[in-house]
């Protein structure tokens, strides 16, 4: 017999622990060679999250929920620590203590927001306190639309300046998602009156269309980078990382759609 809490916990930890592990690598690659202390700390976090990821895959869905509750607490601790590390790095960059390092401040802030999101998810799972559906729909979309808008900006800024066409496309996505984010914030400030079924359903439909096309753009970028067909300083793993985060957002949108309207959730994320 499978338990909903166990399934949701393991799925969440499997997805986000890999993300946290990769953040450690990206941060490390952006430090200067003399920042040995920071590089060591990043390596430490890589090992911690790799271990958590392995453990999360070793558990099966029929494990005792009490075991997963303790596991979630352990992961929560580790995520709190990497959040502190990311905010420390942000502080060092913004006070010009790391001149010449290669992590954008917005990227460091971005990865710390993702850590904070993961930490909140773990706390929600363990306490069993979930937001009412209409609030969750608005809050999750506000969070992920900003994440998507940031991704478009990172891609634009990490492409070689000579890749004019691709930069233009990335900038268009950046604008599109900034606009969607503002719309989401408008819906947020109009609540609870804005939380009608037709408005929330339309909100999800509109966001899904844009996330799908951004997801496809990221997929193309990833393939071009892997085949060495474009000039950039984007790590192939970063291209894959932002692609997976878009897929995750699409999955969340479909889950909400299902809860809202009863429409079936596709099992995998079909490429359409
Ligand atoms: Fe990320
Ligand atoms: Fe991200």
Which pLDDT tens digits describe the chain residue by residue (272 residues)?
A: 578 999 999 999 999 999 999 999 999 999 999 999 999 999 999 999 999 999 999 999 999 999 999 999 999 999 999 999 999 999 999 999 999 999 999 999 999 999 999 999 999 999 998 889 999 999 999 999 999 999 999 999 999 999 999 999 999 999 999 999 999 999 999 999 999 999 999 999 999 999 999 999 999 999 999 999 999 999 999 999 999 999 999 999 999 999 999 877 655 444 33
* 90 and 157 both lie in a single domain: no
Residues measured by CB to lie within 5 Å of ligand 1, the ion: 19, 114
Residue that terminates a domain, selected from 79, 97, 130: 130
Using the mean position of ligand 2's atoms as its centre, give its distance from the Cα of residue 145 in Å: 11
Range of the domain at 105: 1-130
Cβ neighbours for 254, distance < 8 A, ≥ 6 positions apart: 208, 265, 266
Please give the torsion angle defined by the CA atoms of residues 163, 164, 168 and 174, in that order, rounded to the nearest 10 degrees. Answer: 50
* 118 and 135 both lie in a single domain: no
Using the mean position of ligand 1's atoms as its centre, give its distance from the Cα of residue 167 in Å: 21
Half-sphere exposure of 255 (CA within 13 A, CB side): 14
* 182 and 102 both lie in a single domain: no
CB burial of residue 138 (10 Å; 0-12, 13-18, 19+) = buried
Using CA atoms, how far residue 228 sits from 129, 161, 218, in Å, is: 47, 16, 15
Q: Which residue has the tokens 């993961």?
A: 118
Distance CA 67, CA 169 (A): 47
Using the mean position of ligand 1's atoms as its centre, give its distance from the Cα of residue 183 in Å: 23
* 47 and 141 both lie in a single domain: no
Q: What does the DSSP 8-state code read for residue 159?
A: B
Using the mean position of ligand 2's atoms as its centre, give its distance from the Cα of residue 245 in Å: 6
Using the mean position of ligand 2's atoms as its centre, give its distance from the Cα of residue 72 in Å: 22
Q: How many domains does the chain have?
A: 2
Retrieve residue 268's tokens.
């995998």
* 153 and 270 both lie in a single domain: yes
* 181 and 59 both lie in a single domain: no
Distance CA 185, CA 203 (A): 12
- Predicted TM-score (pTM) of the model is 0.94
* 4 and 94 both lie in a single domain: yes
* 5 and 115 both lie in a single domain: yes
* 139 and 263 both lie in a single domain: yes
């Amino acid at each position: 017999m499978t338990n909903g809490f166990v399934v949701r916990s393991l799925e969440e930890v499997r997805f986000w622990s890999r993300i946290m592990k990769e953040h450690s690598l990206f941060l490390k690659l952006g430090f200067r060679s003399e920042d040995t202390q920071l590089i060591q700390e990043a390596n430490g976090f890589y090992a911690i999250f790799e271990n958590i990821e392995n453990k999360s895959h070793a558990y099966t869905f029929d494990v005792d929920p009490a075991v997963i509750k303790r596991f979630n607490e352990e992961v929560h601790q580790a995520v709190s620590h990497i959040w502190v590390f990311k905010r420390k790095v942000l502080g060092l960059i913004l006070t010009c203590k790391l001149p010449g390092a290669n992590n954008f401040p917005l990227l460091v802030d971005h990865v710390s927001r993702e850590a904070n999101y993961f930490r909140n998810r773990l706390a929600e799972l363990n306490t069993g306190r979930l937001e009412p559906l209409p609030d969750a729909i608005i809050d999750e979309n506000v969070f992920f639309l900003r994440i998507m808008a940031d991704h478009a900006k990172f891609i634009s800024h990490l492409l070689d300046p000579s890749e004019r066409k691709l930069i233009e496309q990335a900038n268009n996505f950046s604008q599109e998602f900034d606009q969607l984010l503002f719309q989401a914030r408008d819906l947020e400030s109009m609540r609870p009156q804005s939380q009608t079924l037709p408005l929330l359903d339309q909100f999800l439909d509109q966001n899904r269309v844009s996330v799908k096309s951004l997801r496809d753009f990221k997929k193309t970028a990833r393939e071009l980078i892997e085949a060495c067909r474009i000039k950039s300083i984007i790590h192939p793993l970063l291209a894959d990382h932002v692609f997976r985060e878009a897929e995750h957002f699409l999955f969340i949108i479909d889950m909400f759609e299902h809860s809202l309207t009863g429409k079936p959730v596709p099992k995998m994320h079909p490429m359409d």
